[in-house]
Structure 1
């Protein structure tokens, strides 16, 4: 949250130059505060697990956040009870005429499937387009980041020969960007994907700023200049044992997966893994809620303006 200081205090200008948010008394007196309205489009098979993971991070803020759960795949789920979906989830038609402060689109186990063969590809593209006019800031996670990079910028994904899985030490770039404020120079984050995008293509063919990367794993975090579209190619929300569950699932399926990198103690899958990325995950979400949503969103959501940054579509 911002600090509140007298308008004329010399520290105000110093802190402003350092990109630290300061609220002058004159603004604080007239400030209106309301709950943030956030939509979670959950594409993961184990929806309840993903809800718990992401809601835990959204709760780590002094802001009041109202969350609506959204689905776009009407097929029967094999991993989530239908009673749960019917009770707690909404369809896109139910919310498409409303504006929201934030939208989170999760990953999905679709890394090896061509975009045009994804069952709900048309629906996900509709939501991405809708977010540009109805949402202040959108957080795209893993496969959703791949889908948005393809739809908005025409970038083809690069399918990997082996699943990129593990806990990678990423380098923080552009530390004056509010989304990475407080990040260490290097931080750990889980990755679990079959696809990648070329770093040079993101740098040259989009309007995005690359905020964190890894020499082998590539871009981890990127954002539009206006912070209205955020792309995270990993899973900061994962629990300590999520990668282990995926590894065991793939092993039982006969996929013969590689051992997740830098994850099991001593590279021994019989050992219990430890979460070493929680501080980064909490900081990423709190920065997103504060600087990309709360500080930007209008008090009256009906006054929301369309996204001004233009995607550099290929062709």
Structure 2
């Protein structure tokens, strides 16, 4: 095997114009890690926010950076003390590391075993690649907020990549779900089991019409909606946001997603059981990764954006 690989990289912070396909050393496989030959990797908003320097105060970047945290692929090599996997296993991962450097938009990526799970057998490679970050975000927010059978849940941004998984997961937990979205996405939300409401002026009143006694849990996946959240929350209700630190001032939780192999395995099983679907909006060839980032930044796609690294 060659000691180099092709990778999408950037040498400095900036917009997608800084991305290029280059040759990089194939990563070394450390203890507790697996080397994955990448089949597909999905784009998440955090990828281009990091690329723009948005997390520089939080995470160190080692240039050149290979972006990307979502991956689906095949185990090529197993490091020392990684008995969970063997070469040839088909896996998915939310492959976040402690520094920003060796990401998933490459022919190979190393993944700590704490981040990886078996690929859902019923999903395509592209669908599988779209599951980890969005699915884990939705699952961890909802379970940390105590969603259970009989809960009434409001999902802000219900038609987005995280939101539509949140709707399905909340329904699977036995909750009634109200989801905010533009009218063009209302039929899709009904199909997933949510009661849709249009966002914008008057949103709190529209939610109160559906839930006069308030909602038990609010999951905010868009930001800027704290006032609406507090207006519709029932007494003793819980709320959290992945996008707005101001939620802390209103008694809520500001959340981020953690790599968790057990949670990811649960989501993979949900997919195989037909309880969770991953919608892929667009796919791009490896050489067009910059276009995939541009499309994600526009923020108008309904479903995941995936880069096909190898067939």
Which structure's residues are more often strand, by fraction?
2
TM-score interval for Structure 1 and Structure 2 normalised by the shorter chain: under 0.3
Output the TM-score relative to the length of structure 1.
Answer: 0.25
Output the TM-score relative to the length of structure 2.
Answer: 0.26
